[in-house]
Structure 1
Amino acid sequence: MLASTSGALVAPGEFGPYDELADSAHRLYIDGFSERAALSCRAWRLLTIAAGDRVTGQFLHYIEGIALQEAGRHREAVTVALDLLDELEDEPDPLWRAKALALLAESSTQVGEVSRAMDALAEGTWIVAHTTPGRYSHLSASMAVALALRAVFLFEQSDELLAGILLGSGPETDLFIAQEQALLSAYWATTLLVVGETTAAAPVFVTAAQRALRMGRIAVLAGNPEMVARAAVIEAYAVSRLGYPGLAAARIREASGQFLLRDELVETNLARLVLGLAAMDDGDFAAARAELRGAWESSRRASREIWSSAAMEAMADVDVAEYGPHPAVDRWKLLAREALGRVWVERDGRFTSLQTRHQVRALTAETNRMGQAALLDPLTGLGNRRMLAGAIDSAIDDLAAVFVDVDQFKLVNDHFSHAVGDEVLRRMAVILRAHCRTDDVLVRYGGDEFVILVFGGGPAAEEVAARLHSAVRHAPWGQIAAGLAVTVSVGVGRPVPAHGAIAAADAALYAAKRAGRDRVVTV
């Protein structure tokens, strides 16, 4: 049985009719099947394009980009990000642009194009910071920007953005957020460890363990045993780095029975690092090398620099444990730390660069705001004479003007009060906006006088004038003050040279007032 529907306008949702395709591709990406996710996105985009489902097509395009990024195919991810930005030229939701910019920033960083990455990241973070939260698109954009910040080692800013995302959007979404928070802490702490900041790394590893425990609890509530196990791996990695390799290895062996340790997963690298360090602690150096080499090779393929550096340093520690200290090992570690240390030091410059870009954007926005305010009448929000002059200077020959004057406005102020008079002027502004066309220029000329510049010739101006006159006469003025009635005299100046249109409308207005007010006169 069909239910009746109303004629009310309904805002479009954030998701398209084929959204299940995007959900499926995203699940492949989350589960570590990045190559399959990218191929699925390309195939399913053809369907959504043919069906006219633009929204799902955008989701699939974005998921393709992050899947390529996760697979280590960074140059292809850059291309997808640039194509997506072109596709979003007329997209009204700025958060979509923030997501594409975040993808561009992260992938550009990986291919060494840092300047472009910082430009994209600056705009993306600005959009997220100046857009009202509460929708899925804001959550998704915040996640994307946070991961891009992590890619340029701005961990504090990334962590702040992730921490500001409130849980409660649904079990799967909450689980994804918790996972990224746990991985961020593990990534951050490992970076500190590799650059030699051992003392600073310890509390961040504690945070990683705590966040992994929370991720595990959410995974249980979501009924996702694989993510429960992956949370246990992250926790075990943090525990191992805090000095308990045996306990951590036991947790890994327990968790590895719940999901396949695929090379595509970051958690696989962490598991191998844990098992390698535990084997070294037990004196099984061959097993330690096998695990650590596996971690190093998979990290290198995916361009996960931090994890490959951590694996390489751990392999050096295995050599020292088996064969004793050697000057070459120390020199190698020093060179590796200095190389990564330079990147670590550069993060201060990147933060300064980001802040500078934000300051420029803030200054530009404030300048635009102040410039716009200089063109507006503060009481009604309509344009002022300055705006009128600018519009006339840029006008073409089909300009006409409509002059509106509130009849006996002084009596309104004297009889009802100036507060009522101000409300009448504000209500006049509302009526003008409601009954004028989008391209008309609305101006409070002064006192109780208003001017409308109408582009399209005399008949268009006369039609606007007639609508305004009737709307004012029939407006419920008694709602403002009992006994209040308001009428207007309206003059229309037909198209003549632009400046002459105003003079003609003014002359027509005075003709209307001399003829008894409450009427429209055209000159």
Structure 2
Amino acid sequence: MENLPAVVSPYGAYAGLGLHIHDLTIRGHHGETLIAADAAEGALRILGDGRTYRVSRLGRMYALSALGRPDEALRIGEELVADTGPSTGPRTTDAKILADTARMLIQVGRMDEGLHYVARAMAMLDVVPRKSLRYFSAMASLADAAREAELFELAEVAMLQAINAFEEPNDIYRSGAELQYAEFLLEWALRLEQVQREEEAAVILGKSVTILTYWSDRGTDAPIGEALLALGYAKQGRLTAAQELVDEHLMPMRAGGHNHETRALHMAHGLVLRAAGDLRAARREFLAGDELCVLPAQRLNFQFELAVTAAMQSPGEASSTMLGALHAHIRMLWQLRLDRRTMLHQSYKRVELEAARKSADRQATSDALTGLGNRRMFDSRMSSMSGAGALLLIDVDRFKAINDEFSHGVGDRVLGEIAAVLRAHCRHDEVAIRFGGDEFALFLSTGELESRQVAERIRQVILSRDWSTIAPGLRVTLSMGLATCRPGETGDDLYTRADANLYAAKRGGRNRLAAAA
């Protein structure tokens, strides 16, 4: 297995596995997504490809949500949020995870937490490159979260930014984004109709149908697109076209357990039957769709159509009163959107303030040349050592001679290159420090054997690097002293042992690791 080829990718060495799962999710093949994720995740654990494993888990979360299993989806989201950090992947992926988990939180009624996650995702996406697959995916997730909270205006902005991340109209990801946009527009139109803003609803419905028709005409493999188009046609009064799509897709979708698509098709069929005057059959279709609902917003749509149908079946004061009460309830829910917008604005301000505070803290504890921690951070970490992990001290061999022979500018570049190597070898709970001149330190969270392995890898990377690209004839090596924490040992004692080992490495000829004391 260790001889398997691995293509370098920002998504992970075996990105094809994760992207296949992502593609299935975009197309709405949720059952297949779970099967593919089951097959991929075990292999990815064995292969050690953590980034692609996260992509697969995200795809699984989407599928579980679409299949009406939000609690299971939320558990995956919270697991992934807990694992985010500098060493786990790009910031856009972290933003996507936050947005996806926000949607799950909103679905299960944890609105405050969900909106706070939305704010965190927005803050991350404000400062990342905007023309990439990762940006598209993160913005699409942000739009989904906003849609779940019925913050339709924010959702539209996010979806359009996601769509504009790609230039080619036939790209699978662009088609997926536009279908997602069309679904969101259709939901928005339904809600506007329910609060009796019919003209606005008609305009937004028209935009949705135009997008859905475009991709349907191109044969895009997306069952949800056909189901939504049937519903859009039915709402526009294009009953024959809607019925044709219902006849083609309803029974296969229901038999295949595609509840998301089946709900839309049942509503479309009910609207067609009601327009034809078959109110009893229409009611049956609305009830069938209502049985497949898992979220309050989904159920509200069917309850509205059932109330309209009941008013038509039994006109009179009672049915009119019931429909009026439902209209009033929906208008009240619509007004709650304003509260959510205020909550999101406040959360975003809190996130900005927290980011500013962290930035100030980083500047106070960061080395200006290398971006690593400085002496202040070193002292803070030393004072909090608790008998676990290890301390690696590092000196650049004959660094003064490098400055004298090649210039201080070359010396600074050497320090920057070493800092990059140290940073690359840090896990999310480990810290690299430059605490003076050519002196570095690495706080490791591992035991003695693994710490030795990490130190040797760093030494070998520096030794084998082609330093002549910086200055002809330049050679750089490191001397290292390692000490592993002992139970009850103070930070000062740990430092004394690591420092003694560092000097032993220098006395022993430099370019080596000492960890004996």
Q: Distance in 1 between matches of 2:474 and 2:40?
A: 57
Contact 1:209 1:238 in 2 (8 A): no
Q: Which has the higher contact order (CA 8 A, sep 6+)?
A: 2
Q: Distance in 1 between matches of 2:423 and 2:13?
A: 25
Contact 1:402 1:493 in 2 (8 A): yes
Q: 1:393 to 1:169 in 2, by over 3 A?
A: farther
CA deviation profile, 1:16-62 (whole Å, cap 9, x unmatched): 59978995998665xxxxxxx5xx888x5997599667759847853
Partner of 2:434: 444
Partner of 1:62: 61
The equivalent position to 1:80 in structure 2, one of 54, 69, 72, is 72
CA deviation profile, 1:109-137 (whole Å, cap 9, x unmatched): 4xxx5446545655676777778788878
How far is 1:79 from its partner? Answer: 3.1
Contact 2:263 2:292 in 1 (8 A): no
The equivalent position to 2:242 in structure 1, one of 228, 238, 252, is 252
Q: Distance in 2 between matches of 1:115 and 1:435?
A: 37
Contact 2:102 2:113 in 1 (8 A): no
Partner of 1:33: none
Partner of 1:239: 236
Name structure 1 gaps, 5 residues minimum.
30-36, 70-76, 241-247, 280-286
1:88-487 superposed matches below 5 A:
88=80, 92=88, 94=94, 97-98=97-98, 101=101, 104-105=104-105, 107-109=107-109, 114-115=111-112, 117-118=114-115, 143=140, 145-166=142-163, 176-218=176-218, 220=219, 222=221, 230=227, 232-240=229-237, 248-260=238-250, 264-277=262-275, 279=276, 287-290=277-280, 292-303=282-293, 304-312=298-306, 314-315=308-309, 318=312, 331-395=321-385, 402=393, 404=395, 407=398, 409=400, 412=403, 417-427=407-417, 429=419, 442-446=432-436, 448-452=437-441, 479-481=469-471
- Stretch deviating more after TM superposition (431-440 or 471-480): 431-440
**Aligned-CA RMSD value:** 5.6
Name structure 2 gaps, 5 residues minimum.
46-52
Q: Matched residue of 2:441: which SS?
A: strand
Q: Matched residue of 1:201: which SS?
A: helix
How far is 1:339 from its partner? Answer: 0.5
Contact 1:234 1:267 in 2 (8 A): yes
Letter in structure 2 aligned against 1:315? T
1:8-87 superposed matches below 5 A:
11-14=12-15, 16=17, 23=24, 29=30, 37=31, 48=39, 58=57, 62=61, 65-69=64-68, 77-85=69-77
How far is 1:273 from its partner? Answer: 1.7
Q: Distance in 2 between matches of 1:401 and 1:371?
A: 24
CA deviation profile, 1:257-316 (whole Å, cap 9, x unmatched): 533466933133134324423x3xxxxxxx252354235423432342443254245436
Q: Matched residue of 1:81: which SS?
A: helix
Contact 1:440 1:453 in 2 (8 A): yes
How far is 1:375 from its partner? Answer: 1.8
Q: 1:298 to 1:151 in 2, by over 3 A?
A: farther
How far is 1:342 from its partner? Answer: 0.7
Letter in structure 2 aligned against 1:311? E
Q: Distance in 2 between matches of 1:105 and 1:363?
A: 23
Q: Matched residue of 2:154: which SS?
A: helix
Q: Matched residue of 1:259: which SS?
A: helix
Q: Distance in 1 between matches of 2:455 and 2:62?
A: 53
CA deviation profile, 1:420-446 (whole Å, cap 9, x unmatched): 443344345457779999999654343
TM-score (norm 1): 0.66
Contact 1:95 1:137 in 2 (8 A): no
Q: Matched residue of 2:367: which SS?
A: coil
CA deviation profile, 1:392-412 (whole Å, cap 9, x unmatched): 323468977757377583894
Q: How many residues align?
A: 473
Contact 1:65 1:103 in 2 (8 A): no
* Structure with greater Cα Rg: 1
Q: Distance in 1 between matches of 2:102 and 2:380?
A: 39
Q: Distance in 2 between matches of 1:508 and 1:28?
A: 58
Q: 1:298 to 1:172 in 2, by over 3 A?
A: farther
